[in-house]
Structure 1
Amino acid sequence: MFRAQLGSNTRSTKIGDDADFSFSDKPKPGTSHYFSSGKTDQNSSEYGYDEINIQGKNYNSGILAVDNMPVVKKYITDTYGDNLKDAVKKQLQDLYKTRPEAWEENKKRTEEAYIEQLGPKFSILKQKNPDLINKLVEDSVLTPHSNTSQTSLNNIFNKKLHVKIENKSHVAGQVLELTKMTLKDSLWEPRRHSDIHTLETSDNARIRLNTKDEKLTVHKAYQGGADFLFGYDVRESDEPALTFEQNVSGKSNVVLERRPENLKTLDGRKLIAAEKADPNSFAFKQNYRQGLYELLLKQCEGGFCLGVQRLAIPEAEAVLYAQQAYAANTLFGLRAADRGGDVYAADPSRQKLWLRFIGGRSHQNIRGGAAADGRRKGVQIGGEVFVRQNEGSRLAIGVMGGRAGQHASVNGKGGAAGSYLHGYGGGVYAAWHQLRDKQTGAYLDGWLQYQRFKHRINDENRVERYKTKGWTASVEGGYNALVAEGVVGKGNNVRFYLQPQAQFTYLGVNGGFTDSEGTAVGLLGSGQWQSRAGIRAKTRFALRNGVNLQPFAAFNVLHRSKSFGVEMDGEKQTLAGRTALEGRFGIEAGWKGHMFARIGYGKRTDGDKEAALSLKWLF
């Protein structure tokens, strides 16, 4: 049974009775023989067949064709003289000296043939003249049989074989010194080291080398037209698999059926030996890329070698990795006012529980390249677990936690891609407020969080997954200053405040991994400080029915000490811009000092937009 390799025709591979090829002669008892070309009659060592046609068949043979008679003839006549019969005799004589057991065996068979032919007369002659009979037997062993003329002997040694494989055939087998092969719309799989003098290929002709031990040599000019398939990992062999000794023209394709890995190790490896080939004789039929590297087939000294070209980071991947690095460090970032509103607007003696919902969009691009659009959402919850207050100040310590995620997509030069990340964060916070008359005074706020995220990036061809983790922390300070106050309507108190603020946030979430193509991927931007400075204006309306309204607006300048980005095998790409201007506005409402709600919206010059709803309960 012939086992079809990958890419073979799907029809039955059973050989059956029609596989009637024979590639060597059977010796007659008492005579020596030579291997000859082609299909031969089992009872003849002289009959030759010049052409083998394989049409629309699957056929598997260890040795498909041996066409070495001209080579043998040249060797014998060069070594033992021009007279072919005498040269054959001398060659056999030297051969038998190395194999005495074969010499004695063939002498015995020859004697048996004479006895069968002459009967008792042979034994009588041997008794009367043993030396003469012994010489006769030895000469018979060393001489081609009597009906082989000089012309017939020359015909045997001059036979040339043409193997034709056509019409969607699938053939496997070794050829040795084959004069000519025509391969058309079929697949041939050479075995071991095969060699052909003339190779003609056309119409979807394919030649597959299944293992590193398969080699093919073409002695004469080759005009191209085949697909050469490599069914093994080309890293397994350091020697050329194909050798072309004369001119190579036309165009032939090379296909690596086992996609190579670790491309950097293949640089300079010679795949084809061809001293006299046109520069474009061989080319890959498809692209072979892995991470930031592409495998090339290029002409080199004495043939065609594998080359490795470094590529730029795909823009879509770069901006998504960079955006995920940014998101992992900022999704759980918050300011003192985000934890349920302004402490000055509530009773400072009471503890609070707060809940915050966030949603936002971002539009970020790598420098001079593709842009990614992201959509994020999350929830954070926290509460004070310790409060200490005196006449002039208030200190509160609390715990908090949350979950957040972000989707992003990009359409760049390298195609469409998308990403998703989600994770959890938790930590502690502390806030100190100076309590002065009319809700004024300084404040200090700080928090520390640990965060973990799972990431996914996918394009049209693959999906990459990785994780990040790390710490973020913040220190914020400001002063709540009363600018003006008055009474409007029926005893409704109105105050206008300005609150200068500054905040420094440490961003320490990081991650790195090796992707599915073997590329080392590292996120950039972790371990930096982000600063924010600005001013917040608010107007507080204390209504007689116990409702407080506090619209606010803020303007900030944000700056990061590093750019977020990605590093892939040593090449870096970063997001554009480290400084942004921000505007925020919203309103906070309180009811009888027990419950507060705050809704706000912010927009930045770097394309980020965010809306948030915060709820606060006092108890």
Structure 2
Amino acid sequence: MHDRLGEIEYIDAFTGKKHATSLWLRQSGSHNVSRDNSGQLDTQSNRYLVQLGGDIAQWIMPGQQRIHLGVMAGYGHSNSNTHSTLSGYRAQGSVNGYSVGMYGSWFANPEDQSGSYVDSWLQYGWFNNQVKGEQTVAQNYRTHGWSASLESGYTLKLKDYHTEYGSLNSWYLQPQLQLTWMGIQSGNMQEANGTRIRGTNTNNIQTRVGLRTFLKGHSIIDKDKSREFEPFIEANWLHNTQRFAVEVNGDRSYQQGANNLAEVKLGIDGKINNSVNLWGNVGVQVGKEHYSDTTATLGIKYIF
């Protein structure tokens, strides 16, 4: 949720009243390193994602509770390079994909960012894929499918304190739990030389258990202004039920190290003024067999 929305609220530039996000945009770039189960295939890949969305409805309920409903759309691109340490051959792959979806969020107390929250989203994606080995013709195929997520957490304010420079800071702790279903249909493909290829990672369920801690700070020089900054650190454990695998003529090769991952994420969310909110973070995932995935994300919300 935080990667998609950053801070929960904004302040109306004309009335000074707090409202929900109107429009948001986020971009992320990633680098992945992995090895297959044979220990012979080393793969590196780079990914880029841009996603745009906004709320289409809000409901304010008793006790400061709030519900948001929104829509989103995205584009992603990935390039990969696989090297065989046994034969020395290389293969390149690329993916271009699009997605559309909806999200819904419930906050128990968005006024001071405390208490429970529940966030969910559902999206449909379709992808154009290409793979090319040395001295072979490039093969193209398409994939598509649904994915969905359900996330919940609880935000606890630990303490308020002033710094020696007069800044007011609030310290929060937020445990999180997220389930993500990945239902992309991998499909089957046959190369011109008769080689049969089949993807086998459909219906993966990823579980994420995490703990986020952040400071919400307001500098004395920003007195009577809406400018606020929220540095945070987050630690997660992720588990995937399916291995990301492919079968070539019945022989199964899968990515090692991605079943159980440890993740650390650092970043900052901030209100620049009454019209612009920015957020950014860097996250690193590590697993067994030299698996690693590094992602940098930048986001912006504009109120108009």
Query: TM-score with structure 2 length normalisation?
Result: 0.89
Partner amino acid, structure 1, of 2:103:
Y
Pairing of 1:371-382 with structure 2 (within 5 A): 371-382=42-53
How far residue 498 of structure 1 moved from its aligned partner, in angstroms, is 0.7
How far residue 392 of structure 1 moved from its aligned partner, in angstroms, is 2.5
1:455 equivalent in alignment to 2:120? no
The counterpart of 1:365, out of the listed 25, 35, 53, is 35
1:341 equivalent in alignment to 2:1? no
Residue 344 of structure 1 contacts residue 439 of structure 1 at CA under 8 Å; is this kept in 2? Answer: no
Partners of 1:487 and 1:474 lie apart in 2 by 38
Pairing of 1:539-578 with structure 2 (within 5 A): 539-543=215-219, 544=223, 545-577=225-257, 578=259
SS of structure 1 residue aligned to 2:23:
strand
Partner amino acid, structure 1, of 2:279:
R
Residue 468 of structure 1 contacts residue 512 of structure 1 at CA under 8 Å; is this kept in 2? Answer: no
The counterpart of 1:441, out of the listed 101, 115, 127, is 115
Residues 175-213 of structure 1 show CA distances to partners (whole Å, capped at 9, x for unaligned) of xxxxxxxxxxxxxxxxxxxxxxxxxxxxxxxxxxxxxxx
Which residue of structure 1 lines up, in the alignment, with residue 96 of structure 2?
422
How far residue 378 of structure 1 moved from its aligned partner, in angstroms, is 1.7
1:389 equivalent in alignment to 2:60? yes
How far residue 439 of structure 1 moved from its aligned partner, in angstroms, is 2.5
Q: Which runs of 4+ in 1 moved over 4 A?
A: 344-348
Partner amino acid, structure 1, of 2:113:
Q
Partners of 2:150 and 2:18 lie apart in 1 by 21
How far residue 345 of structure 1 moved from its aligned partner, in angstroms, is 7.4
SS of structure 2 residue aligned to 1:562:
coil
Partner amino acid, structure 1, of 2:20:
R
Partners of 2:298 and 2:155 lie apart in 1 by 22
Which residue of structure 1 lines up, in the alignment, with residue 268 of structure 2?
587
> What percent identity do the matched residue pairs reach?
28
Which residue of structure 2 lines up, in the alignment, with residue 42 of structure 1?
none
Residue 353 of structure 1 contacts residue 616 of structure 1 at CA under 8 Å; is this kept in 2? Answer: yes
How far residue 464 of structure 1 moved from its aligned partner, in angstroms, is 1.4
The 1:397–1:348 alpha-carbon spacing in structure 2 relative to 1, beyond 3 Å, is farther
How far residue 486 of structure 1 moved from its aligned partner, in angstroms, is 1.5
Partners of 1:574 and 1:348 lie apart in 2 by 49
Residue 9 of structure 2 contacts residue 21 of structure 2 at CA under 8 Å; is this kept in 1? Answer: no
How far residue 512 of structure 1 moved from its aligned partner, in angstroms, is 1.9
The counterpart of 2:77, out of the listed 389, 394, 405, is 405
How far residue 437 of structure 1 moved from its aligned partner, in angstroms, is 6.5
Structure 1: runs of 5+ lacking an equivalent:
1-335
How far residue 480 of structure 1 moved from its aligned partner, in angstroms, is 1.0
Higher RCO by CA contacts (8 Å cutoff, separation 6 or greater): 2
The counterpart of 1:523, out of the listed 170, 188, 199, is 199
The 1:532–1:345 alpha-carbon spacing in structure 2 relative to 1, beyond 3 Å, is farther
Partners of 1:383 and 1:343 lie apart in 2 by 12
The 1:609–1:471 alpha-carbon spacing in structure 2 relative to 1, beyond 3 Å, is same
Which residue of structure 2 lines up, in the alignment, with residue 82 of structure 1?
none
Pairing of 1:474-513 with structure 2 (within 5 A): 474-488=149-163, 491-510=166-185, 511-513=187-189
Which residue of structure 2 lines up, in the alignment, with residue 618 of structure 1?
303
Partner amino acid, structure 2, of 1:546:
S
The counterpart of 2:212, out of the listed 536, 541, 544, is 536
Residue 9 of structure 2 contacts residue 20 of structure 2 at CA under 8 Å; is this kept in 1? Answer: no
Residues 515-548 of structure 1 show CA distances to partners (whole Å, capped at 9, x for unaligned) of 2222321111111210000100101112324310
Residues 433-484 of structure 1 show CA distances to partners (whole Å, capped at 9, x for unaligned) of 0116732111000000100111111122211111110001000000111011
SS of structure 1 residue aligned to 2:2:
helix
Partners of 1:348 and 1:453 lie apart in 2 by 39
How far residue 489 of structure 1 moved from its aligned partner, in angstroms, is 5.0
Partner amino acid, structure 2, of 1:493:
L
Tell me how many residue pairs correspond in the alignment: 284
The counterpart of 2:278, out of the listed 597, 601, 611, is 597
Partner amino acid, structure 2, of 1:388:
W
Query: TM-score with structure 1 length normalisation?
Result: 0.44
Partners of 2:9 and 2:162 lie apart in 1 by 19
The 1:337–1:581 alpha-carbon spacing in structure 2 relative to 1, beyond 3 Å, is same
The counterpart of 1:354, out of the listed 2, 17, 24, is 24
Residue 9 of structure 2 contacts residue 19 of structure 2 at CA under 8 Å; is this kept in 1? Answer: no
Pairing of 1:46-85 with structure 2 (within 5 A): none
Residue 407 of structure 1 contacts residue 419 of structure 1 at CA under 8 Å; is this kept in 2? Answer: yes
The 1:613–1:460 alpha-carbon spacing in structure 2 relative to 1, beyond 3 Å, is same
SS of structure 1 residue aligned to 2:202:
coil
Residue 348 of structure 1 contacts residue 394 of structure 1 at CA under 8 Å; is this kept in 2? Answer: no
Q: Which has the higher strand share?
A: 2
Structure 2: runs of 5+ lacking an equivalent:
12-16
Partners of 2:234 and 2:21 lie apart in 1 by 26
1:431 equivalent in alignment to 2:105? yes
SS of structure 2 residue aligned to 1:349:
strand
Pairing of 1:133-212 with structure 2 (within 5 A): none
Partner amino acid, structure 2, of 1:400:
M
Residue 364 of structure 1 contacts residue 371 of structure 1 at CA under 8 Å; is this kept in 2? Answer: yes
Residue 72 of structure 2 contacts residue 102 of structure 2 at CA under 8 Å; is this kept in 1? Answer: yes
Residue 597 of structure 1 contacts residue 614 of structure 1 at CA under 8 Å; is this kept in 2? Answer: yes
